[in-house]
Amino acid sequence: MYKSSFFLAFLCAIILNSCMTYGDTTNSSFKGNEYRNRKPESFYMFFETDSIDFDYESLGKVKTVSNRTDLDTEVLERMAYEAWSNGANTILFIKYSTQERTEGTFDLLLDSEEEEENSEIYYDAIVYEGMASYVNVTPEFKEQYGEGIDLFYVKKVEQDLTKESNRKGGEAVMLLVGGIVSLVALIISPDEDE
């Protein structure tokens, strides 16, 4: 009985070993004044090289860091969503950069540093940041800057966030179930002396 309980606990540890990942999500942050009850009907984006010749209310800073497979447009959509969901209808002074990130799995059973290096992927993540703002979109503003970007990205990003949340939730459930099974297996296993 002891050997089978130990084997079950060991098997759970191996399963848990490959469940938890890191560096594989797109991260967005907003720091500033939130107006979550305000959902603008139009949205505009201006890069740091664009001329800003209109009044605006600064709401805060918004930043998005890509995962390994994101395209520029996906990172910009995620950043726009972060600003939009906090009540902004404009991002100003958008700047592009890269940041080194690591993607991998929490590997509890590694034998050497060499194996650890092989289980991780290093990559340059796309980073966009800017100032989330609110602009009074008058007919004159629309005449000069157009209707803004299509808000189709809102639904797409919300679907992506749901998928990401479900995946991470599944990882957490697997970790919890595996931990409980391991604990039960170790508790019910008889002492070696028996």
Q: Which CATH superfamily is domain 2-188 in?
A: Hypothetical protein apc22750. Chain B (3.30.110.70)
Question: What local confidence, expressed as pLDDT, does residue 59 receive?
Answer: 96
pLDDT 10s digits, 80-123:
999 999 999 999 999 999 999 887 765 555 554 545 555 788 99
pLDDT at 33 over 80: yes
Among 82, 81, 104, residue whose Cα is nearest residue 156 = 81
Residue pair 67/164 in contact (Cβ under 8 Å)? The answer is no
pLDDT band per the 50, 70, 90 thresholds, residue 139: very high
Helix (H, G, I), strand (E, B) or coil at 158: helix
- 8 and 184 Cβ atoms separated by less than 8 Å: no
Task: Tell me the three state secondary structure of residue 15.
Answer: helix
Provide the pLDDT for residue 119. Answer: 73
Domain boundaries along the sequence of the chain: 2-188
pLDDT at 35: 85
The pLDDT of residue 36 is 78
Query: Would the pLDDT of 5 be above 60?
Result: no
Q: What is the mean pLDDT of residues 50-69?
A: 95
Total Cβ atoms within 10 A of residue 32: 17
Q: What is the pTM of this model?
A: 0.70
Confidence at residue 102, expressed as pLDDT on a 0 to 100 scale: 85
Using a 10 angstrom Cβ sphere, with 0-12 exposed, 13-18 middle and 19 or more buried, the burial of residue 15 is middle
C-alpha span between 2 and 188 (Å, rounded): 9
Question: CA 179, CA 194: separation in Å to the nearest integer?
Answer: 25
Read off the pLDDT of each residue in 62-89 and give the average, rounded to a whole number.
94
Check pLDDT > 90 for residue 126: yes
Task: Output the pLDDT for position 12.
Answer: 57
Conformation bin of residue 156: beta by default, left when phi > 0, alpha when psi is -120 to 50: alpha
Is the predicted pLDDT of residue 135 greater than 80, yes or no? yes
pLDDT of residue 142 exceeding 90: yes
> What percentage of the chain exceeds 90 in pLDDT?
44
